Structure 1
Amino acid sequence: MTVHPGLDPRPVDPATQGIIKLALLAVGGQGGGVLTGWIEDLARANGYAAQATSVAGVAQRTGATVYYVEMAPAAKGTPVFSLMPSAGDVDIMITAELMEAGRSIIRGFVTPDRTTLITSTHRSLAVSEKTVPGDGIADGAEVLAAAEVAARRLIAADFDALAIAQGSVISASLFGALAAAEVLPFPREAFEAAIAQGGKGVEPSLKAFAAGYEAARTGAAQLVPSKSVASGDAPKGPARLLAEWATLTARVDRLPAPVAELARPGLRKVVDFQDIAYGRAYLDRLDQVLTQDRAPFALTREAAKHLANAMAYDDIIRVANEKTRATRMSRIAGEMGAQDKHLLHVTEFLHPRAEELVSLLPARMGARWAANPRRMALVDRLFNKGRRLRTDSLRGFLMLHVLGGLKGWRLKSLRHATETAHREAWLATALAYLPQNYDLAVEVIRCRRLVKGYSDTHARGLSKFDRVLAAIALVKDRDDAALWAARLREAALRDEEGKALDGAIATIRSFL
């Protein structure tokens, strides 16, 4: 919590004397309408006239709904309220997600001489953040730093986690934070009465209210632990497999410390993807890189990460396996707030391309089919249709479960042969640069980050990867070749269409 005590409030226009102005930014599912209703009921039950309005945002996290409440003592006559907040004229700003706090600052709703800003620090990623091929997540620390400066008083904590822990939603914990802020002239009991008056979900809402109240007073909410499963959980299984796993982990322990740090999760990933033998192949290939490396082993460290990702590629088998895992079903139930007494319907949308289906064929047969346009057109015509499959039903679940269990077939498929050939060509290219430019070899290893995802996403990433490596070959003899390789990779990650990469390649060609 931050307060700017040295700033005097801006003089209030006599025509609006006594009117309290509160704005709220929230997206779907965060209970913005419920919170606004509680604030209205609270004001009216305590002798205030109140008016609430809302302007809906755009769905899918490209814009929040703006809720606006004005209130004034009813004894002073009939006030004239505004329908929308104005820049520089908001007493209390509540945002149900961190980036919405940033947007409220940009729009001028938060000012250092007047506004108390209450915000949750959790993130619900916007569409613009999700569509960036690389890491498009905005820097939350910058938003909090701006809020420290922009607001007269800042109350920030993970109110979403607090509400979920109490079986409620963020609107209740934010209401508790509003009560704790003491910016409205009502006691805590009046806030709780407003919740009780609603009549639905009262008990969990009151618990979340209390958690938000205490967090706003003490700041303890920022210490809420994550519920994610630790990556170091011991595996379970038959004694024979556990003994083989122990042998592999012992090999990892003998690697140089910087390499072992990433090889441990890498080994877990490839074994989970396939089996123990596949994990052994991962370590064998990593050892081959290590024999050509030297301290501080940056090349092998990067290879430990990106080789694991390359070996654990996204194919139909893996997608089906992920969709039928118990952990996924539990996560969906938790996100939806479903309990044992509830029925949960899960519908999967499947749209396989001909390339994905043919990639499951035996390597030689699949290669012949992939090279035959007529056969590919036939497969596309038969199967390239959007399908909806209910995985909460026995038939739908079994279909995906059987498909996800075809790990024994995977290594014989065309997809595996294609991925193996591409992976070995990538490693060979990186190691070929090693004698003349160590840093360039490391950057080429890092370029594997461009290849990810499934279906069209994978195809676009693969195309960018090939273009980046071709452009690197043009500058490989320059002293700053490694720097250019990093620039090309980051340009490829900047946008889905590849416009930044086009510009970087054009720049290289201009000085050749």
Structure 2
Amino acid sequence: MADRGFLSSVRYLLADFIGDDDDEPPFLPEGLPEPVMAVASEAIHLLIDYQGPSYARLYVDRLRRFIGKRGVDEAMLGEIARLMAVRMSYQDPIRIAQLKLAELHGPPGASAGSVEVKKFRLEELIGALPAAIAEYILDALDWAGWTRRMRVSIRFSTKSRFGIRRLKMEAGLRRWRLLSVRYARERVWVERWLHMIDRSLTKQPQAAPTIIQTATMIEGYGDVYRQGMADWNAIIDGLAKPTFDGVLALSDLAGAIAEARAAALPDPRQAALKRKIAEIRARVSVNV
């Protein structure tokens, strides 16, 4: 399943990059329950705006895996559809520029313009570039110890022609997004999240809704995004994966994840979260 997802990502990446996109939005997947249709339709329109029709087709392909799957009811499928769209439209400088430009098409009499200042980690800004360029820059900055320490403030302005022109240039980088370091990481994350949901449905079905909701741990950009991603990986690697692998005899995975999430604090060292995960693991047997 993961391999199919990877090949789908590559196919849609190449289609978008070389312009092999017929501009036709994808159809809703066959067999989609009626209550989920509105969620999926809204997601398709969101992702077309975000990246293009081929990217929306990737969303449809991913969603199709869970239609009619044992243990997946309408409510669960709806949450997968909703949260996957949120993660596939992750916030990066390109997206913020897109949204800022959209303000210009607001109702008559709206504000003549506004300025927002966003603070990014330096690695995020470089990560939005094509990987062939970004990886060399990131390696050099990491060697110098600057990558994780530096923060950069970026102005997104619609108050002047220069600001609008710059926004259009930044939004125009959308064409390169699927070649970026950030997209590669996001693709891996989405596929792993879907894989964990699938494993939960097989190994511990009662925990599947909780696994699905872990997507809400990751949001925004900058330090908030990085913290959420680190915490998610700690919980999945420390509790979910070993349970599915049969290494950790955790009968109530959903409760354990909720307990761990409650202990997560905005701490780059993850001290409280790591202690809680160790405490949970210590309460049950571990098969080495």
What's the TM-score, normalizing by structure 1? 0.44
Is the 1:314–1:453 Cα contact (8 Å) retained in structure 2?
A: yes
- Residue 366 of structure 1: aligned partner: 134
C-alpha offsets along residues 57-81 of structure 1, whole Å, 9 cap, x if unaligned? xxxxxxxxxxxxxxxxxxxxxxxxx
Write 1 or 2 for the structure with the bigger share of helix.
Answer: 2
Pairwise CA distance, 1:468: 1.9
C-alpha offsets along residues 232-270 of structure 1, whole Å, 9 cap, x if unaligned? xxxxxxxx74xx33x52xx25740234334323222322
- Residue 201 of structure 2: aligned partner: 434
- Residue 277 of structure 1: aligned partner: 54
Residues 282/389 of structure 1: CA separation in 2 closer, same or farther (3 Å cut): closer
Distance 1:423 1:355 in 2: 20
Write 1 or 2 for the structure with the bigger share of strand.
Answer: 1
Among residues 202, 205, 211, which one is paired with 1:444 in the alignment? 211
The two structures, once aligned, show a CA RMSD in angstroms of 3.3
- Residue 170 of structure 1: aligned partner: none
Residues 376/432 of structure 1: CA separation in 2 closer, same or farther (3 Å cut): farther
Among residues 384, 391, 400, which one is paired with 2:167 in the alignment? 400
- Residue 218 of structure 1: aligned partner: none
- Residue 187 of structure 2: aligned partner: 420
Pairwise CA distance, 1:475: 5.2
Residues 510/371 of structure 1: CA separation in 2 closer, same or farther (3 Å cut): same
C-alpha offsets along residues 167-214 of structure 1, whole Å, 9 cap, x if unaligned? xxxxxxxxxxxxxxxxxxxxxxxxxxxxxxxxxxxxxxxxxxxxxxxx
Is the 1:252–1:260 Cα contact (8 Å) retained in structure 2?
A: no
Distance 1:496 1:379 in 2: 19
Among residues 301, 315, 324, which one is paired with 2:78 in the alignment? 301
**Would you say how many aligned residue pairs link Structure 1 and Structure 2?**
256
Q: Which has the higher contact order (CA 8 A, sep 6+)?
A: 2
Among residues 204, 224, 231, which one is paired with 1:464 in the alignment? 231
C-alpha offsets along residues 385-437 of structure 1, whole Å, 9 cap, x if unaligned? 44556430111121112211222111111111111112112222221232121
Distance 1:395 1:375 in 2: 35
SS in 2 for 1:283: helix
Residues 327/449 of structure 1: CA separation in 2 closer, same or farther (3 Å cut): farther
SS in 2 for 1:406: helix
Pairwise CA distance, 1:481: 1.7
Pairwise CA distance, 1:327: 5.8
Distance 1:470 1:403 in 2: 36
Residues 389/274 of structure 1: CA separation in 2 closer, same or farther (3 Å cut): closer
Q: Which amino acid aligns with 1:315?
A: D
SS in 1 for 2:135: helix
Is the 1:354–1:380 Cα contact (8 Å) retained in structure 2?
A: yes
Does 2:86 correspond to 1:314?
no
Residues 430/368 of structure 1: CA separation in 2 closer, same or farther (3 Å cut): farther
Q: Which amino acid aligns with 1:511?
A: R
Q: Which amino acid aligns with 1:355?
A: E
Q: Which amino acid aligns with 2:131?
A: A
Q: Which amino acid aligns with 2:170?
A: L
What does 1:366-385 align with in structure 2 at a 5 Å threshold? 366-373=134-141, 384-385=151-152
Distance 1:374 1:472 in 2: 30
- Residue 482 of structure 1: aligned partner: 254
- Residue 14 of structure 2: aligned partner: none
Percent identity over the alignment is 28
Is the 2:114–2:158 Cα contact (8 Å) retained in structure 1?
A: yes
Is the 1:259–1:297 Cα contact (8 Å) retained in structure 2?
A: yes
Which ranges in structure 2 are unaligned for 5 or more consecutive residues? 1-21
Distance 1:252 1:413 in 2: 28
What does 1:117-156 align with in structure 2 at a 5 Å threshold? none
Which ranges in structure 1 are unaligned for 5 or more consecutive residues? 1-239, 339-343
- Residue 346 of structure 1: aligned partner: 114
Distance 1:434 1:450 in 2: 20
Is the 1:475–1:484 Cα contact (8 Å) retained in structure 2?
A: no
Distance 2:128 2:221 in 1: 14
Q: Which moved more, 1:414-423 or 1:257-266?
A: 257-266
SS in 1 for 2:179: coil
Name which one, 1 or 2, has greater alpha-carbon Rg: 1
Distance 1:330 1:455 in 2: 31
